Amino acid sequence: MKRYLTGRIGQALLVLWGAYTVTYFILYMLPGDTLAIMLSASGMEADGLSPEDLAKARTYYGLDKGLFEQYFDLLWRALHGDLGQSLSLGRPVTTLLAERLPQTLALAGTAIVLSLLAGVGLAYLTAYLQWRPLKTALARLPSLGFSVPVFWMGLLLIQVFAFALGWLPATGSQGLASLVLPAITLAIPSAAVYAQVLQRGFQGVWQEPYITTAFAKGLSRAQVQARHGLRNAALPLLTLVGLQVGNTVSGAVLVETIFSRNGVGRLAQEAVLRQDIPVVLAIVAVSAAAFVLVNLIVDLLYPYLDPRITHTAKVS
Amino acid sequence: MQTQLSPVLAGEEASTGKTIPIKDHPMPPLHRLFAIGALALALTACSPDDGSTAGKTLSVAFWGDNTTLVSVDPFQVYWLEHRVLLRNVAESLTDQDPDNGRIIPWLAKSWEVSADALSYTFHLRQDVTFSNGERFDAHAVKSAFDSNKAFATQLPATFGATYLAGYDHAEVIDDFTVRLVLSRPNAGFLQATSTTNLAILAPASYQLSAQERSLGKIIGTGPFTLEHYTPEVGARLVKRADYAWPSANMRNQGPAHVDAVDISYIPEESVRNGLFLQGKADILWPRNPFSEVDLKLFQSKGATIQSRSLPGPALNLYPNTRNQRLLGDRQVRLALQKAIDRTSYAHTVYNAEFPVVSGVYDVTTPYFKPQASKLAYDPKGAEQLLDAAGWHKGEDGYRHKNGQRLTLRYNLTPAESAGDVLVQDQLRKVGIDLKLNVLTRAEWVAGNAAGNYDLTSTYMTRADPIILQTILDPRAANSATVATNTYEPQTLAKAQALFDSGITATADPQRAQAYGQLQDLLTDEASAFPLYERVWQAATAPRVKDFRWTAEGFALFSDIQVGQP
């Protein structure tokens, strides 16, 4: 177990370093250079300046280092907890993240909880119901859930719950009320995936001999589904939750824009557009760390939830 | 200093009467039940803008914030929305009359300009204080100008540098008299002293770093103080109770009528519009003019549409005439000029009342010279010119010459507009193939610098014709490549001579002549293709009274009254 854990942590670090490095070089390969964008943002373009002025501007924005020099510099400082300065915001990236991350964590956390509740609830209900037409209708619902675009769903929810009914605010990142609509918007596609997978899981499990045994013991349908059905059908969900964490971060880009929320998703998108390398790198590192961590936890949970799985067999 | 200026479009089309129903649902028992559970806390929490002080707070919804250069430091800011905010926080030595472009007193009671136009002596008001209690005096003015100059030396690309052009040093004559000395003539300097970019901040503000100022540490003498600025979210201005030194442009000579102004940046259009229609924003103020559908909707809710052409160049396309590009042929450029139907642009992209662009500048720019007859839609004339230039229509409906199709590459960012597609269609009718080349901002900048385009577009806002130098004079332009490429070599020399005579002129008629000839030159040589008048529109709710524009196209929040409609 210890050996497995060490191996996995090593792997995780490698993934982190890989994500960081690949992002850095991709940003460097994008057309247009950061200095030109910064200058154009302050109303000037690089070709309008003399070489001396250009050099001055380059120094001012800290862009006077070479490709590899800057990479190692950034990496070295990142290892020491210093994620550098944002070029356009002129502030330490750690401060920015400290400011923005809670917003996105709250949004993503709520969305993951909501999607699990809704996804598991829907699949559970579908499995429990015996009236064919309703069962079929509920089984079709998930495909609708993930085929509706997130931005459209967000606008629809705003129209109905913020503008028509006036129950919840349409924009902002203050208070719990402003979290409800964006979290629901973000939760719907994930919920649909969970529901679909769990519905299939129930279908498979229902045919298993131990279900017949459970019925033979004299348990009611509800008891069989809760004790024997769900526990066996739900295992694939665990893997999915790990993967959905990544989707939630990318979904936050859209949701935060629609609801004018001030989170990491929007920061990431804007930082990419203006080639604010330290900011993008920090966001990638943090998201990759979160992704790796959640998936590590998921893997470690498996043996406890399903005693048939042991890690030692895999590594030895 | 400045002379005639065409009448502006301020405050047109007021329609009042209907009120916007403000939703105020008491929560029915059923909903209360529903709320118990996961959403209980969420639903009972009140949204922050439902406060009881709403009657005295003005809320303004702009489009998304500038995320590339995050700054509300007056000297660095080119973003129009930030300049609106700053106009109400920081004030300038002079002001500009929005009706006739004349420079009028503000923080300076009077001034003298030396005969060589190199030294400007300002006599300052003696009753002005900064919001931190510091006295406004000659030392403060000197510290502001010197700090700006130092910043421009450090970062020559900064926007304010173009306003400060030629500034050498300041001399404090006595506590309330200051002389600003230029090292080379700058006929636009007096106008520059009226702009937000050269607003005077408290000496304490300049003790801070430019980055701290950028994030909202701005101390000015204006009727409001900037309580906070949160990039991409919003800002809050709070009234100064002791304010008493407005310029003659302001109707309200005392403290502001409203207690506070809440500014929010809402990137998503439908959400922004919805907030306004819900009564949650008093002023809806996006960058682009409203579509006809939105306009009708707002008016039907009792909103007033405020419009004013932004001073500076119109929305022009600039050609690349160099390196054997197709637009190097003057005939082709003139044909392009004739093939654009500006009337239908204004009326179909916007609405029937939308002004048709009539020159390379917007009408609110001092020394504007109309060119309407030269910009008339004449597809027949365009076809004749193209035929004469050897471009003949092929089977595909487009023109060809020596096996090459007449394809023009128009670089634009971040997305094409309805207007771009309309122009593409208009040009197709005369056989020109306009490629809408949609790029990210980074690619667009690189494309401009490399001259990899046939047409490109950019704009700047300032109520002085000098602003065109930042686009079209290679010696001062943001992009020297774009500025050079727009002219054929022999025209460039003429244009530069006219820019020089405009900036060194000391008398009005000389400036009028120089900039008049420049506008003629740009149209005659088809070095600029005006598409539309850059009209800035804001929708104000029925409860908002006395919205008025400044010469730069900003608003004076201190004049605005909010009441019950």
Q: Is B373 helix (H, G, I), strand (E, B) or coil?
A: helix
* Prediction ipTM score: 0.74
Residues 331-390 on B with a CB inside 8 Å of A are: none
Backbone angles phi, psi at B456, to 5 degrees: -145, 170
- Give the pLDDT confidence score for residue B32 in this predicted structure: 39
* CB pairs A-B closer than 8 Å: 189
Per-residue DSSP letter, B58: E
Phi-psi region of A260 (alpha: psi -120 to 50; beta: other; left: phi over 0): left
B278/A38 CB distance under 8 A: no
**Which of A41-45, A134-138, A312-316, B485-489 is predicted least confidently?**
A312-316
Of A45, A60, A170, the CB nearest to B271: A170
pLDDT of residue B325: 93
- Cα angle A145, A149, A150 (rounded to 5 degrees) comes to 90
Q: Which tokens go with B32?
A: 């209360």
The whole-number pLDDT of residue A315 equals: 47
Q: Which two tokens stand for residue B31?
A: 């909903």
Nearest to A180 among B25, B39, B448 (CB): B39
Rounded to 5°, the CA angle B444-B447-B450 comes to: 150
**Which among B25, B68, B277 has the least Cβ separation from residue A41?**
B68
Q: Does the pLDDT at position A63 exceed 80?
A: no
Are the C-beta atoms of residues A91 and B212 closer than 8 Å to each other? no
The predicted pLDDT at position B13 comes to 30
Low-confidence ranges of chain B (pLDDT < 70): 1-55, 565
The whole-number average pLDDT for the span A177-190 is 91
d(CA B313, CA B6): 15
**Placement of tokens 């004739």 in the chain:** B338
CB within 8 Å: B445 and A163: no
Q: Could you say which of A60, A155, A273 has the minimum Cβ distance to residue B154? A: A60
Query: What is the predicted pLDDT for the residue at A31?
Result: 66
Instruction: Tell me whether residue B497 is exposed, middle or buried, using C-beta atoms within 10 angstroms of its C-beta: 0 to 12, 13 to 18, 19 or more.
Output: middle
**What does the pLDDT read at residue B525?**
95
Chain B residue numbers with beta carbons less than 8 Å from the beta carbon of A273 are 67-68, 440-442
Identify the residue among A26, A40, A152 best suited for mutation to test binding to B, counting B beta carbons within 10 A and taking the highest: A40
Q: Which of residues 24-63 of A touch B (CB under 8 A)?
A: 30-33, 36-49, 53, 56-57, 60
Q: Which helix (H) or strand (E) holds B330?
A: helix B330-339
pLDDT for residue A46: 65
A251 vs chain B: nearest CA distance in angstroms? 16
Q: Rounded CA gap, B364 and B464, in Å?
A: 9
Of A205, A286, A216, nearest in space to A252 by CA? A286
Give mean pLDDT, residues A178-199.
91
H-helix segments, A30-131 = 34-41, 51-60, 67-79, 93-128
Contact A45 B78 (CB under 8 A): no
User: Residue A99 has which token pair?
Assistant: 């400011």
* Tokens linked to B447: 């494309």
Contact call for A174 and B445, based on CB within 8 A: no
**Does the N-terminal peptide bond of residue A149 adopt cis geometry, omega within 30 degrees of 0?**
no
CB of A10 within 8 Å of a chain B CB? The answer is no
Contacts of A264-270 with CB under 8 Å at 24 or more apart are A264/A97, A264/A100, A264/A101, A264/A103, A264/A104, A265/A104, A266/B232, A267/A96, A267/A100, A270/B67, A270/B68, A270/B232
The band of A76, judged by pLDDT with boundaries at 50, 70 and 90, is: confident
Q: Region A83-103: what's the mean pLDDT?
A: 83
CA–CA separation, B92 vs A88, rounded Å? 27
Return the structure tokens found at A258. Answer: 């629609």
pLDDT higher than threshold 80 for residue A107? yes
Pairing of strands B399-401, B392-393: antiparallel
Residue B366 tokens, joined: 């001092």
- Integer distance in angstroms from the first to the last C-alpha of chain B? 41
What residues 74-93 of chain B have any CB closer than 8 A to a CB of chain A?
76, 78
B contact test, residue of A27, A29, A45 with most B CBs within 10 A: A45
pLDDT, mean over chain A:
83
Helix (H) or strand (E) holding A150: helix A150-157
β-bridge partners, B537: B307
Q: ∠ CA(B302), CA(B537), CA(B486), 5° rounding?
A: 160
Closest residue to A43, CB basis, from B67, B70, B159: B159
* String of DSSP letters for B264-322: EE---HHHHHHHHHTTS-SEEE-SSPPPHHHHHHHHHTT-EEEEEEPSSB-EEEEE---
Place of tokens 């660095």: B76
Contact B479 A45 (CB under 8 A): yes
pLDDT recorded at residue A195: 92
Residue A273: other Cβ atoms inside 10 A: 17
Residue A292: CB atoms within 10 Å: 21
DSSP label of B555: B
CB B375 within 8 A of CB B522: no
pLDDT of residue A172: 77
Q: Is the pLDDT of residue A162 over 50?
A: yes
For tokens 């501007």, name the residue: A57
Closest CA to B18 of B300, B293, B275: B300
In eight-state DSSP terms, residue B488 is -
CA distance B458 to chain A (A): 10
CA dist list (Å): B158 to A57, A61, B35, B73, B89: 10, 13, 52, 11, 21
Q: Evaluate whether B443 touches B453 at the Cβ level (below 8 Å).
A: no
Give backbone dihedrals phi and psi of A156, rounded to 5 degrees, phi first: -65, -45
Which of B27, B47, B278 is the best residue to mutate to test the A interface, defined by the most A CB atoms within 10 Å of its own CB? Answer: B47
pLDDT tens sequence across A249-279: 778 888 988 888 888 888 888 888 777 888 8
What's the pLDDT at A45? 65
Query: Cα–Cα distance between A37 and A46 in angstroms, integer?
Result: 9
The burial of B23, by beta-carbon neighbours within 10 Å (0-12 exposed, 13-18 middle, 19 or more buried), is given as: middle
